[in-house]
């Protein structure tokens, strides 16, 4: 399989998954969700690529949480981002002997927006 054909298969499967996730907060009916999910799974199965099989398995594993997101539009992206920042700061501070200082660095890194340092304007 050519590199271009492989890329097209991956892109199409990604677009199918994004079509499904784009129904968030639109109150999709069960048939619409079922059809979009089937289209995604069918494309992953027909492609025969290990990456798409792993992606389909991941979607299947997380399926109980996905309909909750589709109906409410609420995700845990904010808390995941904060956890990533905390882990990065902790890695940067590795070797410091003062745990109070390390906690302070973590708090400063995760509250910049609230203190006005990350103003979007």
pLDDT along the chain (121 residues), means of 10: 90 94 88 95 94 95 89 82 83 73 78 59 52
Query: Where do the structural domains in the chain lie, given as residue ranges?
Result: 3-72, 77-110
Measured CA to CA, the distance from residue 9 to residue 12 in angstroms comes to: 5
Helix (H) or strand (E) holding 86: helix 77-92
pTM of the model: 0.65
């Amino acid at each position: 399989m050519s590199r271009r054909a492989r890329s097209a298969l991956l892109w199409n499967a990604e677009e199918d998954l994004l079509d499904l996730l784009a129904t968030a907060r639109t109150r999709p009916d069960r048939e619409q969700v079922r059809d979009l999910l089937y289209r995604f799974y069918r494309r992953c199965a027909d492609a025969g690529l290990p990456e798409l099989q792993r992606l389909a398995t991941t979607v299947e594993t997380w399926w109980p949480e996905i309909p909750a997101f589709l109906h409410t539009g609420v995700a845990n992206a904010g808390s995941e981002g904060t956890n990533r920042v905390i882990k990065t700061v902790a890695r940067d501070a590795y070797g410091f002997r003062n745990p109070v200082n390390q906690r302070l660095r973590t708090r400063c890194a995760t509250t910049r927006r609230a203190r006005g340092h990350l103003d979007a304007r």
